């Protein structure tokens, strides 16, 4: 089974450059969690992964100013695997909307996929 939270929007002060730390930026986060329920038919919240709890964890991590997006995607993926024992694989991507570089057009994305060991 798969649960996806896509295009989550956050404002944050993430980045290495002083402008990023002061002005901030908009970020989009995608989270995909693969898991195998322990029952054939999931009919109770405790038999699945509560995406509201996942969202709240992502939100709390995104509220911490962090220099590198690489650190944030790792933290989110690790925390999901810790918080949700039935999670088997997690994919997290973060897209920074604008870079503080003159004449840079586009976005940049950092992503990770982690599996339970």
Q: What angle do CA 53, 13, 56 make, to 5 degrees?
A: 5
Mean pLDDT by 10-residue block, N- to C-terminus, for the chain (117 residues)? 98 89 93 92 90 98 97 98 96 89 83 93
What's residue 117's pLDDT? Answer: 75
What's residue 97's pLDDT? Answer: 84
What's residue 88's pLDDT? Answer: 97
What's residue 109's pLDDT? Answer: 95
The yes or no reply on domain 2-115 and CATH 3.30.1130.10 is yes
Token digits of residue 54: 């996942």
Q: What is the DSSP letter of 39?
A: S
Give the Cα separation of 29 and 92 in Å (integer).
7
What's residue 99's pLDDT? Answer: 76
Q: Are residues 110 and 69 in contact, defined by beta-carbon separation less than 8 angstroms?
A: yes
Phi, psi of 90 (to 5 degrees): -130, 135
Give the Cα separation of 62 and 13 in Å (integer).
9
Whether the model pTM is above 0.75 = yes
Residues with Cβ within 8 Å of 66's Cβ and at least 6 positions away in sequence, in order, are: 14, 72, 75
Q: Are residues 61 and 76 in contact, defined by beta-carbon separation less than 8 angstroms?
A: yes
């Amino acid at each position: 089974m798969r649960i996806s939270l896509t295009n989550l929007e956050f404002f944050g002060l993430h980045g290495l450059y002083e402008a990023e730390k002061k002005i901030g930026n908009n970020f989009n986060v995608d989270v995909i969690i693969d898991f195998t329920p322990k029952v054939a038919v999931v009919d109770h919240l405790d038999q699945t992964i509560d995406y509201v709890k996942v969202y709240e964890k992502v939100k709390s991590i995104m509220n911490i100013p962090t220099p590198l997006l690489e650190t944030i995607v790792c933290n989110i993926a690790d925390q999901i695997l810790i918080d949700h024992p039935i999670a088997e694989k997690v994919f997290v991507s973060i897209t920074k909307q604008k870079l503080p570089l003159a004449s840079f057009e586009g976005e940049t994305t950092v992503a990770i996929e982690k599996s339970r060991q």
